[in-house]
Structure 1
Amino acid sequence: MSKEQYLTLSKASGPNSNGRTEPFVKVIACIATLGGLLFGYDTGVISGALLFMGPSLHLTSFTMGLVTSSLLFGAAFGALLSGHFAAALGRRKIILALAIIFAVGALGTALAPDVQWMVFFRMVLGLAVGGASATVPIYIAEIAPANRRGQLVTMQELMLVTGQLLAYISNAGFDALWGGENTWRWMLAVATLPAVLLWFGMLYMPDTPRWYAMKGRLAEARKVLERTRAKEDVEWELTEIEETLQDDEVKGKPHLREIKKPWLLKLFFIGLGVAVIQQTSGVNTIMYYAPTMLTSLGMSNNAALVATIANGVISVLMTFVGIWMIGRIGRRPIVMIGQFGCTLSLLFIGCICFFMPVESGGEPDMLHGYLVLLGMLLFLSFQQGALSPVTWLLLSEIFPTRLRGIFMGGAIFAHWIANFLISLFFPLMLSSVGLAGSFFIFAVIGLLGAVFVVLCIPETRNRSLEQVEHYLHEWLSDGGVSKKKVLSGHKAETL
């Protein structure tokens, strides 16, 4: 295809198409993002369960951090392994396997007799959480039409925060209905149901057209495109996929050692940065430890659990705002809004804790607790309304098709290791420097992340995945596209 034909088609269809989204695409996205729902529920439920499992499992500050973070350690390796096998086995088969691991992990944690078994099954559950975080966004990005990719991929984030909200509601509900020291077992067991639904749903879903084409199964790739694209877009996209794969055939099977190429090394480090800055904001200290922090500031267990539901509600509502923004403005400005907003919110929480300290041995001030909760809600508005949705979207877009599974796995591995370290040491940080010191530290890290965002985040809106690969290759190779053009988000026609 000549450059002139390519640009003509780009204007008529593909990433600049105004065509409606086919219903089957929405069905696929809803089924696949059950993995995100499980991801959210299993990471959110621990916040309430920790209030009740302490006596049963004899938790200390260290083992509390270990129980919380063991899932995240497993998630790091789940992301790495699923990324490695996604190219060979297909995105769909990986998600089917993850559904089984989700169910086994949920039941194992619910029945754990002691802290050792709890940590083990939390790690098993983590394998599924990490695998879903790496595989589901790729699956949706590759199966969605380019002009709707942003909204459909960010459905994963919507389902994630919905899962967390359901976990908070479940925690408060079980406490209100039954209470007692075994309440936490029911909280953890509930996650088995969506795992079963995910497995049955994915049995009837196809793999992605890009994976079929990569395996030489072009008839199946065309069949999926015909079911998920407007009629005028099928030939355009199939031709683009075939041309990209023909270029890749010369390079052989994908290997991580290809990262030695300068442009791929730069791209991989950008991916690592995108993955890690979302965690270094300290978001999961709020998602995992909010009830623990609020009870230390004067709230009862039940009041803290109910107050934490507000975190979940704000997260869900602001994710809708994020999805709306992604459909109207670029990825880069959304990341900047999220990063700067989160950093200012962390400073606000730190200042409340610093200037309104709870005196040692004194009665905690309820107002203090509600102001900290307000700071958490402001933080989550920027995190879930901007930073988190666009993080998963960018990671699903910026890596080359041929290496997408491997690079995504590596980036999400770094994401989960950062999450693991922060969650493991946060209880110890609280005991040593207090709430004020902890949030001031996160605010300083947030300022460093803001520098990275300004200098390194590219714009990928209004481009197909193949166009994203071409323009990032040229930019990072210094081959003709200026950094200013790449960052400012010129349309595909500028190529």
Structure 2
Amino acid sequence: MTTLPTADSARPTAPGDDRQSKYLRRITWIATLGGLLFGFDTGVINGALPFMAEDLALTPFTEGLVTSSLLFGAAFGAVFGGRLADRYGRRRMIVVLAVVFLLGTLGASFAPDVTVMVLSRFVLGLAVGGASVMVPIFLAELSPAARRGQMVTRNELMIVTGQLLAFITNAFLGNVFGDADGVWRWMLVIATLPAIGLWIGMHFVPESPRWLASIGNFGETLAVLNRIRAHETARTEFDEVKAMAVEDYKAKMGTIKDLSEPWLRRVFIVGLGLAVIQQITGVNSIMYYGTHILDDAGFGTQAALTANIANGVISVAATFVGIWLLGKVGRRPMLITGQVGTTSALLAIGIFSLVLPEGTLRGFVILAFTITFLAFQQGAISPVTWLMLSEIFPLKIRGMGMGVSVFVLWMVNFAVSFSFPILVAAITISNTFFFFAALGVGAILFARRFIPETRDKSLEQLEHEFKEAHAAASQR
């Protein structure tokens, strides 16, 4: 175990010095390139699919398979990514993910047939799933409690920015080079650029101080905190982190057996519920099949590619609003408000898809309600979900809890994305959205009953509060 350095050995920092804040912002932007890749690789299929369908002779079944294979891989990337991040460190594993992103992108871009495409997108999904776990944990463990909401949700901003970039490049390539063979390959290969940027950038950021403490490396823990905090704040936070790490010294060995403790089991169930209710809104039916939905509503393919950019723009704008709101209001009311808004929008999409004849009017009405849906989803539900998943789990099971929860999230995402074209073909698009609206009602009820408030509390405070709440409930 590394010996603890004295206060004099740490780099002194004036309380008003903003160098630490600037350094922390730089770390955040580098790490969230993983979120940008997450967004681009999940969003690019939206516009690439119509061109790919002709080249690879896709049916509704293989169309769903190509789209959802990435999500299936992401589920396993999430569950194993959390465990690997616990064992080998957050920073080191994000560097590995950058390589996997690059390899998966190249495989999909040059895929000669459906089989290679599905396998390549599965590999790409491993990276997407790993990033969806590791980046929020990394940011949560680096951020001060007062800024954790803004720092972690910046990853969500990068996710929707990646999706918007995918929609814009899809629209440009589809409208300008839509008649060229293999234009979808150019849509996919663009993702190699941020993958290379992530690999380079992560060599210039520190490891998570809380992970370093969990393996007993207290000297490096304090050194990292002194680089990202004012000196006195670093010392105070170090004492808190060290005390919790000593209490949970076997954090890296956390397993499913730890859930025999009732309070840990309750936190674990809350995490799983958060994952499910974020996805059963059907958000990714819009993010992955938005072009198809707008085409079906009355736009042509080329016009739908352009109109779909509006979905990306509102996602980015709503995420900015969501990040601002997280500094003003609690996580729980934001989540419930978002669930009410998305469920109402889904109901409206189903109704107007049913009553309006196919044409330009229906196309613009459906576009208006998909924009409304995404405003609530990306402005409230998604940022709160990823933030709370990164902060509710105690250090002892943080990697496992986040990994399993995001595994469930991606599996629900896979089920929604794989079944969407099949459901539309079987029961019509309006009934498909009625189905998602009914699931949304269940999500609202779950959030009201089980989701706790976590705003303005350190990760260590949350752990103590969960323990005390269980002890008080046991006494009652």
TM-score grouping bracket, smaller chain normalisation: over 0.9
Give the drift of 1:245: 1.4
Between the aligned partners of 1:130 and 1:399, the Cα distance in structure 2 is: 18
Report the residue type matching 2:119 in the other structure. Answer: F
Aligned match of 1:135: 134
Deviations 1:418-468 (Å, cap 9, x if unpaired)? 000110010010011111101111000000000001011111111100001
Aligned match of 1:448: 442
Q: Would the alpha carbon gap of residues 399 and 435 (structure 1) be closer, same or farther in structure 2, given more than 3 Å must change?
A: same
Aligned match of 2:197: 197
Secondary structure in 2 matching 1:22:
helix
Aligned match of 2:279: 279
Q: Would the alpha carbon gap of residues 230 and 46 (structure 1) be closer, same or farther in structure 2, given more than 3 Å must change?
A: same
Secondary structure in 2 matching 1:203:
helix
Aligned match of 2:9: none
Q: Deviating runs (4+, > 2 A) in structure 1? A: 17-21, 249-253, 476-482
2:388 to 380, 387, 394: 394
1:372 aligns with 2:372: no
Contact 2:248 2:395 in 1 (8 A): no
Deviates more, 1:255-264 or 1:115-124: 255-264
Deviations 1:54-105 (Å, cap 9, x if unpaired)? 1111100000000000000000000011111111100001100100000001
1:152 aligns with 2:151: yes
Contact 1:474 1:481 in 2 (8 A): no
Aligned match of 1:172: 171
1:463 aligns with 2:457: yes
Between the aligned partners of 2:89 and 2:364, the Cα distance in structure 1 is: 47
Between the aligned partners of 2:37 and 2:219, the Cα distance in structure 1 is: 33
Between the aligned partners of 1:334 and 1:18, the Cα distance in structure 2 is: 33
Give the drift of 1:354: 2.0
Give the drift of 1:478: 3.6
Task: Give the alignment's Cα RMSD to 1 decimal.
Answer: 1.7
Contact 1:84 1:405 in 2 (8 A): yes
Deviations 1:387-411 (Å, cap 9, x if unpaired)? 1001000000000012100110000
Aligned match of 2:350: 350
Between the aligned partners of 2:383 and 2:446, the Cα distance in structure 1 is: 18
Q: Would the alpha carbon gap of residues 252 and 370 (structure 1) be closer, same or farther in structure 2, given more than 3 Å must change?
A: closer
Q: Would the alpha carbon gap of residues 154 and 250 (structure 1) be closer, same or farther in structure 2, given more than 3 Å must change?
A: closer
Q: Following superposition of structure 1 onto structure 2, how do residues 8-407 of structure 1 map, counting pairs within 5 Å?
A: 22-180=21-179, 181-249=181-249, 253-356=253-356, 358=357, 364-407=358-401
Between the aligned partners of 1:328 and 1:318, the Cα distance in structure 2 is: 15
Secondary structure in 2 matching 1:37:
helix
Between the aligned partners of 2:371 and 2:289, the Cα distance in structure 1 is: 14
Contact 1:145 1:228 in 2 (8 A): no
Between the aligned partners of 1:18 and 1:385, the Cα distance in structure 2 is: 33
Between the aligned partners of 2:188 and 2:39, the Cα distance in structure 1 is: 12
Deviates more, 1:160-169 or 1:82-91: 82-91
1:415 aligns with 2:409: yes
Aligned match of 2:6: none
Deviations 1:358-410 (Å, cap 9, x if unpaired)? 4xxxxx31111110111100000000011100100000000001210011000
Between the aligned partners of 1:328 and 1:230, the Cα distance in structure 2 is: 24
Contact 1:105 1:122 in 2 (8 A): yes
Give the drift of 1:301: 1.3
Give the drift of 1:218: 1.1
Between the aligned partners of 2:68 and 2:118, the Cα distance in structure 1 is: 9
Between the aligned partners of 1:476 and 1:305, the Cα distance in structure 2 is: 51
TM-score (norm 1): 0.91
1:430 aligns with 2:420: no
Report the residue type matching 1:192 in the other structure. Answer: T
Between the aligned partners of 1:389 and 1:431, the Cα distance in structure 2 is: 32
Contact 1:471 1:481 in 2 (8 A): no
Between the aligned partners of 2:99 and 2:234, the Cα distance in structure 1 is: 34
Report the residue type matching 1:436 in the other structure. Answer: S
Q: Would the alpha carbon gap of residues 352 and 477 (structure 1) be closer, same or farther in structure 2, given more than 3 Å must change?
A: farther
Report the residue type matching 1:162 in the other structure. Answer: T
Report the residue type matching 1:292 in the other structure. Answer: H
Contact 1:74 1:125 in 2 (8 A): yes
TM-score (norm 2): 0.94
Deviates more, 1:442-451 or 1:470-479: 470-479
Q: Would the alpha carbon gap of residues 19 and 425 (structure 1) be closer, same or farther in structure 2, given more than 3 Å must change?
A: farther
Contact 1:74 1:124 in 2 (8 A): yes
Deviations 1:177-197 (Å, cap 9, x if unpaired)? 322341100000000000000
Between the aligned partners of 1:421 and 1:252, the Cα distance in structure 2 is: 31
Between the aligned partners of 1:54 and 1:167, the Cα distance in structure 2 is: 18
Between the aligned partners of 1:341 and 1:478, the Cα distance in structure 2 is: 35
Report the residue type matching 2:213 in the other structure. Answer: A
Between the aligned partners of 1:478 and 1:253, the Cα distance in structure 2 is: 28
Report the residue type matching 1:123 in the other structure. Answer: F
Give the drift of 1:19: 9.7
Secondary structure in 2 matching 1:329:
coil
Between the aligned partners of 1:420 and 1:250, the Cα distance in structure 2 is: 33
Contact 1:76 1:127 in 2 (8 A): yes
Q: Would the alpha carbon gap of residues 282 and 117 (structure 1) be closer, same or farther in structure 2, given more than 3 Å must change?
A: same
Between the aligned partners of 2:169 and 2:204, the Cα distance in structure 1 is: 30
What is the aligned length?
Answer: 460
Deviations 1:29-68 (Å, cap 9, x if unpaired)? 0000000000000000000001101111110000000000
Between the aligned partners of 1:196 and 1:127, the Cα distance in structure 2 is: 17
Between the aligned partners of 1:250 and 1:278, the Cα distance in structure 2 is: 31
Contact 2:251 2:396 in 1 (8 A): no
Contact 1:262 1:477 in 2 (8 A): no
Between the aligned partners of 2:415 and 2:467, the Cα distance in structure 1 is: 33
Contact 1:41 1:164 in 2 (8 A): yes
Contact 2:133 2:403 in 1 (8 A): yes
Deviates more, 1:239-248 or 1:305-314: 239-248
Contact 1:38 1:129 in 2 (8 A): yes
Deviates more, 1:78-87 or 1:159-168: 78-87
Give the drift of 1:250: 7.0
Between the aligned partners of 1:416 and 1:398, the Cα distance in structure 2 is: 19
Report the residue type matching 1:308 in the other structure. Answer: N
